[in-house]
Structure 1
Amino acid sequence: MLPASAQAHTESVPCGEVALVSAVDAANAAGGGTVTLTPGCTYTLTVAHGDDGVHGPTGLPVITTPITFEGNANTITRSPTAAAFRIGQVAPTGGITLKAVTVSNGHAASVGNDDGGGILSFGAVTLTGGALSDNTANGRGGALYSTGTPSAATFTNSTVNGNTAGQGGGIASVNGTLTLTSSVVNTNTATVNPGGIYYVAGSATLNTSTVTANTATNCTGSPSPVPGCIG
């Protein structure tokens, strides 16, 4: 007989929008937890399921607790026929950890609250072995806008590519902590430079990570210089 702990089995969230939203709601209600995704599933969001009444609509419920998305070649995306909304928003009390998950096709377009096309974060964002791709912000941070004293964005073995914004096509970090390790920020586009990383105050660290082929510029024009970022 195996001990009880060895018999434990974590059920995957069925491959569908309603099931994913329900799982996030349940994790928030429980004070945090792990959402295990069905391997290889693309979760397509057709409508917004979150809105704090200030920052505009978001595809997933606003994340108010620490939640880990345990993925395996997964994608969370906005339907191409859906109205504009970003994919996720993290409250100051929350955290989102994405493992082997791609976030794509988010669009932050609310007038005056159009930062963070993929994710808008006031808390913690951790991306491991994943990607933020093809998201759009009419404001700053096509893939991610991370801001505030408690905010931290940590990317490891991950890619930020093909995102678009008014400024900071890839990542915008304002008064937060940004750490990239063995990661790539490339082929992102902004109307106003920089196209790769927009950074103000806080801290930014690139560990064996590259910021290349972004338009206009990789980091030149960022209000605070990004250490180790060229061009």
Structure 2
Amino acid sequence: MSVRTSIIRTTTRRVTQVAGMGVVMAIGASAFPATAQSATFVACSEDALSTAITEANAAPSAVLSLAPGCVYSLTTRLPEVTGNITINANGDTITRGIGATAFRILTVSGRLTLNDATVSNGDASGESVNFGGGIGVIGSGSLFVERSDILDNRAAFSGGIGGLSNTTVSVDRTTISGNSVTQSGGGFIADGIGTITNSRVIGNSAGNLGGGIANQGQLRVQDSNINDNEARDGGGIANIGGTAQLIRTNVNSNQATDGVGAGGILRTGGSVILNSSRVRGNAPTNCAGTVPGCTG
């Protein structure tokens, strides 16, 4: 994974003095050097990370750069992200420590961009809403996850990442694996707008619907693999409402544990659109509830 220590923000503005008129106009591309927002280095400790998030929430925007080679082992929940924060994790792990009380790793009601991180062992059963074991996006929050791993988190709903209605969740070049729920959405749940690109949702499980993904919002999955997940029904994907659009995506080798449901894709409401996507080798069937273009 690449190391990124800051986010460059370029302001494109060129000011030209018009001769003889004394008129100043802004005309597009910058004639000045690009400006960079400096990153705040976060030492390798739970307290340092908690303090950094609290201080970043108070700023108009902030970039946090985690100490490379660190495991941030948490004994208590991190502060909720209410501001506009970018966390460049530099390959680090943020995890709930062994023996710690149950809590979600990250809660987002503002805007969070998370790069190059592993988020693991979250347990939302200790939260007021048992939702989003790894990362829960609430209110009108926005989450953007890139080049990361969301592993082995637990909840009643959305074990790995979950977004409630009115939220936006985008996942790119990320693996969501080993997450579990007692109800629905083992790996990922979208009640608002959800986008998954160039990613893997593999080996997740749900006690009810949607071992890999449960959707009742607006979901787009592109160039990704939804494989080897299991649930009582809808082992790969359960579309409960809204629209799920799959583009150049594989939904393979998933399982419905009740033995009669859809191993691949279950549609109980809304619509599922398959564009150049394959749904194969799921047990006991690939699809149920009418999914155009899906057979067997």
Length-normalised TM-score, structure 2 = 0.63
Q: What residue number does 1:195 align with?
A: 263
Query: What are structure 1's unaligned runs of at least 5 residues?
Result: none
Q: What residue number does 1:75 align with?
A: 149
CA distance in 1, matches of 2:193, 2:273: 16
Q: In the alignment, is residue 107 of structure 1 matched against residue 180 of structure 2?
A: yes
**Matched letter for residue 171 of structure 1:** I
* Cα distance change of structure 1 residues 36 and 186 upon mapping to structure 2, 3 Å threshold: same
Q: In the alignment, is residue 165 of structure 1 matched against residue 231 of structure 2?
A: yes
Q: What residue number does 2:115 align with?
A: 37
Q: Where do 1:126-205 residues align within 5 Å?
A: 126-147=195-216, 151-191=217-257, 192-205=260-273
Q: Where do 1:48-59 residues align within 5 Å?
A: 48=124, 51-53=127-129, 56-59=130-133
Q: What residue number does 2:34 align with?
A: 3
Aligned 8 A contact 2:210 2:238 in 1: yes
Q: CA RMSD in A?
A: 2.7
Query: What are structure 2's unaligned runs of at least 5 residues?
Result: 1-31, 39-62, 85-108
Of 118, 124, 128, the residue aligned with 2:193 is: 124
The size of the alignment, in residue pairs, is 208
Q: Where do 1:208-223 residues align within 5 Å?
A: 208-219=276-287, 222-223=288-289
**Matched letter for residue 158 of structure 1:** S
CA distance in 2, matches of 1:13, 1:129: 25
**Whose RCO is larger (CA < 8 A, sep 6+)?**
1
Match of 2:133, SS? coil
Length-normalised TM-score, structure 1 = 0.79
What's the % identity of the aligned pairs?
Answer: 28
Q: What residue number does 2:89 align with?
A: none
* Cα distance change of structure 1 residues 61 and 83 upon mapping to structure 2, 3 Å threshold: closer
CA distance in 2, matches of 1:50, 1:178: 30
Aligned 8 A contact 1:125 1:152 in 2: yes
Aligned 8 A contact 2:247 2:276 in 1: yes
Q: What residue number does 1:88 align with?
A: 161
